[in-house]
Amino acid sequence: MVSPTSPDGLDKVTFQKLVASFGFQMTPQDEADYFALVKAIEDEVNEVEAMPAYVDPRLAPCVATPVSERTYSMLDRKDNPLNAWSHRFTLKDDKAVATGILAGRTVALKDTISVAGIPLTLGTHPYQLTTSPDVPYPVPTIDAPIVTRLVESGGVIVGMATCENFCMSGLSDTSATGPVDNPWLKGYAAGGSSSGSGVLTAVTAVKKWRQKRNCPVNEPELGEGVDLAIGGDQGGSIRLPAAFSGTYGLKPTHGLVPYTGIASLHPICDHAGPMASSVNDVALLLSAIAGYDGMDPRATPNTPLRSNVPAYHELLQAAISDKQDRGEWTPTAAGKGLRVGLLKEALDLPKLDPNVASVVRAAAAKFERLGATVVDVSVPLHSKGGAIWTAAMRGAMADVFLASKAPDLHAHTTTGVTPPKMTQAWYETMTKSSPMVVTAVLGSAYIGDSARFPHRYRNKAVSHIVQLRAAYDAVLADVDVLLLPVTPTVGPPHSITTAGEAGNMSVLELYATNLGVSDNTAPFNITGHPALAMPGGWAPAAVSEGLTAGGKLPVGVQIVGKHHDEVGVLLAASILEVAGLGLDEE
């Protein structure tokens, strides 16, 4: 505890400087009284700081794999050719594997999720998150609820997937361990920030796609994948890698999947969700992880308790079976009764590649051939969604994701993570590997200065979130789902090399590669609507020096639904695939 005479404690000189900073003039008696009152506040803060740390018993590590038996390994590059693995370990419950709904399916976690005894890297460099030179990364003492649920559902967690440096990139070349390669074309972005989660599920999809066509499967170039993965999405970080990598990723309704024990960017936009190589597997994984945990402040009155979580995979199959019983599950009738809104503003974004727009319009036409009603819809405020996201969060964001500031509502925060020291060495490392992080720090410091930007600036932005949410809700009152692109292009070539070098690119040029990537995804992070990215087709890859010319990469389409209508979103995706899988459109 800080003593009253400590240089770190409140003394008269410090207090007088504090008073002067407000321009107040006090009588000697008032000064003495206010000093005593502020000192009492400091004493209570110190009293709480001296208390032992509290760990909620609901976060106790899974007993199926005791912490003492948890070991992990880092893979050699030959065993991790796409750099999609951060580190490997195994958590499972043999009894649950035999009886649970996941039935032994392998699962990878984004390297932002707390697992007791396993290092947490957040995609950044050693010693950025700890104060001890003997501990390169923090080692949590808790299992995030999502981890416990996966094990209890029979999943076999087999490791941490690489993520982008402090999760601040929508591409896949900023991780401290180097770029994460697209499994369809090496040297190209796989999407971020859940880059490894997307790639590890896509490895499975790539192998199946090639085997189906009797194409060679080069195992050493792909490495080992997984059946399922968990991603985190604050501006598109589940949907972007799903789209770039040709797989499926669902950002659920805000608060549906508990974010407790997961490193936060900001509670207003944090989402965790399922990634897989099929719609059915996304539904299955959502059933395993959804439901209020009693701790996450992101939950709402509409968030189901864990005991009341719908079996999404069963509800999806029941809806399909109902159509099958009516003879409608055909390429001409599966969409009967479905109303799809093609979002005009999402197709009018200035950086949208015409090839991507063509794939989305082809998906709309496919819905029509399936018997669905497709109409053009307009939400003018959608084009301002990225700016609203920025204005609502940039002022406080760095305090959360770098300094581990707890949410203003009660929550159990990520343990053991300390803010990095903003030294010249830190600046140079981050500028080289991820200028997005440096920009976030500088932007938060500037925008967060209430002398320049009074709270009314952010208050206004938050009110526009309410306006944007209402605008989407108004359109979704007339249609069942929205259809729009995920990304403006297919995965671009990496800007940063395996050696962590950006060549002669300036900071602005590096940052520009990320600009606009999340314009069609970030708006739904702040409004909380469920949004699914799924493969829709192909588009030509950009030709770059030293990379294969004439290649193609997946294009993702996005389906957005009403709050807590995940089944409706997944059913719409399933209907679309009755006419053929998106990656069959060669």
Six-digit token string for 524: 């739904």
Question: Would the pTM count as exceeding 0.85?
Answer: yes
The band of 4, judged by pLDDT with boundaries at 50, 70 and 90, is very low
Q: What pLDDT, on the 0 to 100 scale, is given for residue 161?
A: 98
CA–CA–CA angle 498, 504, 507 (5° rounding) = 90
Q: What pLDDT, on the 0 to 100 scale, is given for residue 144?
A: 97
What span, in angstroms and rounded, lies between the C-alpha atoms of 463 and 474? 17
Same domain, 197 and 229: yes
Q: Which long-range contacts (CB under 8 A, 24 or more apart) does 123-126 make?
A: 123/86, 123/162, 123/163, 123/164, 123/165, 123/166, 123/167, 123/174, 123/175, 123/176, 123/177, 123/193, 124/165, 124/166, 124/176, 124/420, 125/165, 125/176, 125/429, 125/433, 126/176
The band of 453, judged by pLDDT with boundaries at 50, 70 and 90, is confident
Same domain, 45 and 79: no
Q: What is the CATH number of the domain that holds 545?
A: 3.90.1300.10
Strand partners, 231: 273
- Assess whether 506 carries a catalytic annotation: no
Same domain, 218 and 161: yes
Strand partners, 73: 88
Q: What is the pLDDT of residues 346-359, one digit of tens each?
A: 999 989 999 999 99
Q: What is the pLDDT of residues 294-327, one digit of tens each?
A: 999 999 999 999 999 999 999 999 999 999 999 9
Q: Residues of the chain with pLDDT > 90: what percent?
A: 79
Q: Which of 86, 193, 195, 197 is catalytic?
A: 193
The band of 546, judged by pLDDT with boundaries at 50, 70 and 90, is low
Q: Evaluate the CA torsion angle 193, 414, 386, 278 in order and state its sign.
A: positive
Q: Which of 153, 237, 245, 287 is catalytic?
A: 237
The band of 448, judged by pLDDT with boundaries at 50, 70 and 90, is confident
User: By mean pLDDT, which of 133-142, 348-357, 394-403 is the weakest?
Assistant: 394-403
> For strand 85-91 and strand 228-232, is the pairing parallel, antiparallel, or unpaired?
unpaired
Report the run of H or E that residue 21 belongs to, with start and end. helix 12-22
Same domain, 80 and 126: yes
Q: What pLDDT, on the 0 to 100 scale, is given for residue 414?
A: 67
Same domain, 45 and 63: no
Q: What pLDDT, on the 0 to 100 scale, is given for residue 407?
A: 77
**DSSP state for residue 404 in the 8-state scheme:** -
Same domain, 26 and 131: no
Q: What pLDDT, on the 0 to 100 scale, is given for residue 3?
A: 39
Same domain, 231 and 332: yes
The band of 496, judged by pLDDT with boundaries at 50, 70 and 90, is confident
Same domain, 119 and 252: yes
Phi, psi for residue 552 in degrees, rounded to 5: -125, 155
Q: Which of 86, 92, 110, 277 is catalytic?
A: 110
Cβ–Cβ under 8 Å, residues 270 and 262:
yes
Range of the domain at 42: 12-49
Same domain, 236 and 293: yes
Q: What pLDDT, on the 0 to 100 scale, is given for residue 6?
A: 44
Strand partners, 248: 276
- Assess whether 110 carries a catalytic annotation: yes
Concatenate the DSSP letters of all residues of 80-145 into one string.
Answer: -TTS-EEEEEEE--HHHHHHSTTTT-EEEEETTB--TTS---TT--TTSS-S-TT-SS---SS--H
Same domain, 275 and 198: yes
- Assess whether 193 carries a catalytic annotation: yes
Is the pLDDT at 5 greater than 70? The verdict is no
Q: Is residue 5 part of a domain?
A: no
Summary mean pLDDT of the chain: 93
Q: What is the pLDDT of residues 210-260, one digit of tens each?
A: 999 999 888 889 999 999 999 999 999 999 999 999 999 999 999 999 999
Same domain, 40 and 61: no
Cβ–Cβ under 8 Å, residues 349 and 516:
yes
